[in-house]
Structure 1
Amino acid sequence: MINNYSNILAAVDGSKNAELALKHGVAIAKEKGSTLYLLSVVDENAISHSSYAYSKVLAEEKEAIEKELLKNIYYATEQGLDDVIPIVEIGNPKEMISSIIPNNQAIDLIVIGATGKGMIQSNQLGTTTTYVVQNAPCSVFVVKS
Structure 2
Amino acid sequence: MSRYQTILVAVDGSKNAEKAFVEAIELSKEHDAHLYIAYVVNEIEITYSAYAYSKLLAEEQAHVEKVLLEKVEYAKQQGIQKVQSITQIGHVKTVLTETIPEKYPLDLLVVGATGKGAIQRASVGSTASYVVNHAPCSVLVVK
TM-score of the superposed pair, with normalisation by structure 1: 0.94
Q: Cα deviations across residues 71-113 of structure 1 (Å, max 9, x unaligned)?
A: 1112111111011100001111100111211221011100000
**C-alpha separation between the residues in 2 aligned to 1:120 and 1:25?**
26
Tell me whether 1:11 sits opposite 2:13 in the alignment: no
Q: Is it true that 1:138 corresponds to 2:142 in the alignment? A: no
Deviations 1:32-59 (CA, angstroms, capped at 9, x unpaired):
1110000001111110111211111000
Q: Is the 8 A contact 1:102 1:108 kept in 2?
A: no
Find the counterpart in structure 1 of residue 56 from structure 2: 57
Seq. identity, %: 49
1:119 to partner: Cα distance: 2.3
Aligned partner of residue 115 in structure 1, secondary structure: coil
Name the residue aligned to 1:30.
29
Look up the match of 1:20.
19
1:91 partner amino acid: G
Cα RMSD (Å): 1.3
**Rounded Cα–Cα distance in structure 2 between residues aligned with 1:45 and 1:92:** 7
Mapped partners of 1:11, 1:25: distance in 2: 10
Question: How many residues get paired?
Answer: 143
Task: Provide the C-alpha distance between the structure 2 equivalents of 1:119 and 1:16, rounded to a whole number of angstroms.
Answer: 13
Kept in 2, the 8 Å contact 1:110–1:140? The answer is yes
Runs of 4+ in 1 over 3 A off after TM superposition: none
Q: Distance in 1 between matches of 2:51 and 2:122?
A: 26
Residue type of the partner of 1:6? Answer: Q
Tell me if structure 2 keeps the 8 A contact 1:9–1:102. Answer: no
- Is residue 41 of structure 1 aligned with residue 44 of structure 2? no
Per the TM alignment, residue 120 of structure 1 is displaced from its structure 2 partner at its CA by 3.1
How far did residue 31 of structure 1 move? 0.8
Unaligned runs of 5+ in 2: none
Deviation at 1:122, TM superposition (A): 1.2
